[in-house]
Chains A and B, each alone.
Chain A
Amino acid sequence: MDEEGEEELPPIATARITYTGPTAPHWEITSDDGDPELIDAFRTRVMARLMLLPPHDPQFRRNRDRVDRDGQGERIEVVWETGMEDHSR
């Protein structure tokens, strides 16, 4: 598949990543649409990147970008709800 074609494909699922507060695991990944198996596999990978990583951690920005890229690759629209104003993007 060429890159141009990849960008035009619509998302096949949505994942909502919500910051749950300062104590671990910090994040909840939910979805209202899309293949549950696809979402489950995506959730596992996202948690691997975000486990014990609150949004004020300097590493968070890098890992959030990685999660976004994972989502694009999987055709999953990623919605972030960090509960704080985002100055970093």
Chain B
Amino acid sequence: MADSAETDADDPQQRYLNRELSWLDFNGRVLALADDPATPLLERVKFLAIFSANLDEFFQVRVAGLKDQIAAGVRSRTPDGRTAGEQLALITDRAAELSARADAIFLGPVCGQLAEAGVRFSTWAQLDDDDREWLADEFDRRIFPVLTPLAVDPGHPFPYISSLSLNLGVIVRDPVTEERRFARVKVPPLLPRFVVMPDGERFVPVEQVIAAHTAELFPGMEVEDSVAFRVTRNADLTVEEEEADDLLEAIELELRRRRFGKAVRLEVEDDISSESLDLIRDELELDEADVFAHEAPISLDGLWSVYALDRDDLKYNDFQPVTQRRLHPDEDDAERNIFTVVSEGDVLVHHPYDSFASSVEEFIRQAARDPHVLTIKLTLYRTSGDSPIIAALINAAERGKQVVALVELKARFDEENNIEWARRLERSGVHVVYGLVGLKTHTKTCLIVREEGDGVGRYCHVGTGNYNSKTARLYEDFGLLTGDPAFGSDLTQLFNYLTGYARDVEYEKLLVAPHTLRPRIVELIRREREAPKGTGHVVMKMNSLVDADMIDELYAASGDGVRVDLVVRGICCLRPGVPGLSDNITVRSIVGRYLEHSRVYRFANGGGTAKPVHYIGSADLMPRNLDRRVEAVVPIEDPALQEQLDQVLGVALADDQLAWTQRDDAWRKVPRRGEGDGVGVEAHLQLEEDARKRSEVEMR
């Protein structure tokens, strides 16, 4: 940790934190949930799987991008003053440390307690003869037929190892010629990661079952060695454009194409022979630093199958999302007309606590059926497969309504999904638009135009999360449903900009990136610096804080005595609590059962002295959100809804069960309150409780 007393605010390494290391810190917080005895046992298993999948993606995208920079000879430095090579060295050490920690957590407390709960992981060596006999039969019936052993010799070049696939490397000896050969057996992804024994409660890693039967794959040969390994490759270009655009600016497209799919990481079992390791590593053109040796089974994201066990006693209590009172059906059970409700006053929904189905989906579903609705326009970014929203849009188009769906085909890892839905929508008559060239559309907005009296009413939804029914049960997000004509006009302008050729668009209330968002946020931060002493206060809740200019604005505000409270789930490149730089800035991170995903910005004097303004929207404070994407952030103006937001922010700032706090460059768990310090607050449970209350009382 930097010596605070000697912080040189002009030294970039002491002014900003590295985004890659900060992300690894976040994944470390996920891992800590797997290590926390307070987390239900199968949820700990789930967090190990999430940690592992997160790290896979990090290597595919961020590490690959840094390696590209090194290969291209890029010498530029990050805001924290580091070259790609310096970052890579730091990342490798930290990632290795975290991987080893994950293995230890799995093999130690998690496996131990699972065994006590009747769920056992067994190695081949631990099985008795009956079990082995059953597995031998299982191998012959289900596994053997789908395996393909590929020999490597002068006549058989080293096969292409697909990214993230599990493989066995086998060294066999021909007893006749004494020749030794290397072969690779891919474990097809259609096989379960763990074979479940007939009792349904014991799991054996599939690679161990295959390894015990390699003789059947190489008849007449002697198997000398077999080891599991896994390769991570640079993911494809679409991935890079999403996550690694900042790393790739300086790299020619042609160079990126040439090294497409290059290996970036090799994971092996820790007892691999040096012969096998050298052979695989050389073939993949990897360095020693790229090799991660595992004590636990490789690729813990296979633990999802264990999490799927029907053991509710080992999981979080299932919370049923509630419906706000204003959206409840009428007393005679007739459905409440959502446009009437919204025209009487804005509705702020907080998912997953407030039901997504009975609010946002209902909004679109009613629009599709309502004979007075003329037009539905919305942005589709990472929607779920069986989305009721897609069904509603198709229904609306078939009823002759004007339906426009802006589909973002570059949403990372979701391209195939998006293309499939886009085609279905087009076939039903929906106008499908594929966003702006060079600007990814990240807004979560929906506009409904409805014939009313002698004119039209416009109804809007602006959210912080995607129109995705599945993630709406797991991600914490806000959404505003409003009939305010100003928002309707702004969204009309925004959709025209997205689907047509509108330039110089002006918005009355909406903040839109890459145009008005950055300058307005800066203006609001600066306004706090002019507020009466002790009243300047900024609260921001987001996923990532990376933008150096925004960080500088917050430092300047802190220097003028403005309180700055940040709730940042993921990456935070700001150094809080550094004397002379950020004395008045606090940073905390909430990591728990739900994924904190909302972006909320509160400025205590944004509307004048002691008149706060609140914004919610799709944008984090990262260069890509502020400058390279279309984002929409919307003010929450109704005092009752502002109070609702304040309560949520207050809960996040009060949490002492899930929260971590950052001071300078170090994250620590917030100490749980002791006797006499008041009652502890667990944000997610508290917000579940608040939502239940909200569903019982009228908000206005």
Contact = CB atoms under 8 A, between A and B. Distances in A.
B362 interface: no
A80 B604 CA distance: 23
A84 B676 CA distance: 7
Given A47-B610, A52-B565, A23 B681 contact: yes
B609 A24 contact: no
A25 B646 contact: yes
B563 interface: yes
A59 B563 contact: yes
Contacts of B610: 44-45, 47-48
Nearest to B577: A58
Contact of A22 (B537, B643, B678): B678
Given A51-B537, A59-B563, A84-B677, A22 B604 contact: no
Nearest to A49: B534
Interface string A47-70: 111011110100100110010000
Interface residues of B, number: 31
A21 interface: yes
Contacts of A26: 650
Interface in A7-35: 21-26
A5 interface: no
Nearest to A54: B654
A63 B646 CA distance: 19
Contact of B651 (A23, A47, A63, A84): A23
Nearest to B651: A23
B535 interface: yes
A51 B128 CA distance: 64
B651 A24 contact: yes
Interface in B631-649: 643, 646-647, 649
B359 interface: no
Interface string B644-685: 001101110110100000000000000001001111110000
B563 A24 contact: no
B534 A52 contact: no
Contact of B686 (A23, A48, A49, A53): A23
Contacts of A83: 678
B533 A24 contact: no
A48 B654 contact: no
Q: How large is the interface on A (under 10, 10 to 19, 20 to 34, 35 or more residues)?
A: 20 to 34
A22 B491 CA distance: 38
A24 B654 contact: yes
Contacts of B686: 23
B384 interface: no
Contacts of A84: 676-678
Contacts of B534: 49, 62-63, 66
A26 B646 CA distance: 11
A49 B536 CA distance: 8
Contacts of A51: 537, 604, 612, 646
B677 A24 contact: no
A52 B681 contact: no
Contacts of A62: 534
Given A23-B647, A47-B610, A52 B678 contact: no
B677 A52 contact: no
Contact of B679 (A22, A44, A56): A22
B543 interface: no
A85 B535 CA distance: 25
Contacts of A23: 647, 650-651, 654, 681, 686
Contacts of A56: 677
Given A23-B650, A24-B647, A54-B654, A48 B604 contact: yes
B533 A52 contact: no
B678 A24 contact: no
Contacts of A44: 610
A73 to B, nearest CB: 12
A83 B646 CA distance: 22
B589 interface: no
B584 interface: yes
Contacts of A59: 563, 584
20 contacts: A22-B656, A22-B673, A22-B680, A23-B651, A23-B654, A23-B686, A24-B649, A24-B654, A25-B643, A26-B650, A44-B610, A45-B535, A47-B610, A48-B537, A48-B605, A51-B612, A52-B537, A52-B650, A83-B678, A84-B676
Interface of B: 532-535, 537, 539, 563, 565, 584, 604-605, 609-610, 612, 643, 646-647, 649-651, 653-654, 656, 673, 676-681, 686
Q: Which 7 A-B pairs have the closest CB atoms?
A: A24-B650, A48-B610, A66-B534, A22-B654, A48-B535, A22-B681, A49-B534
Given A23-B681, A48-B604, 10 more contacts: A22-B673, A23-B654, A48-B537, A48-B609, A49-B534, A51-B612, A52-B565, A52-B650, A63-B534, A83-B678
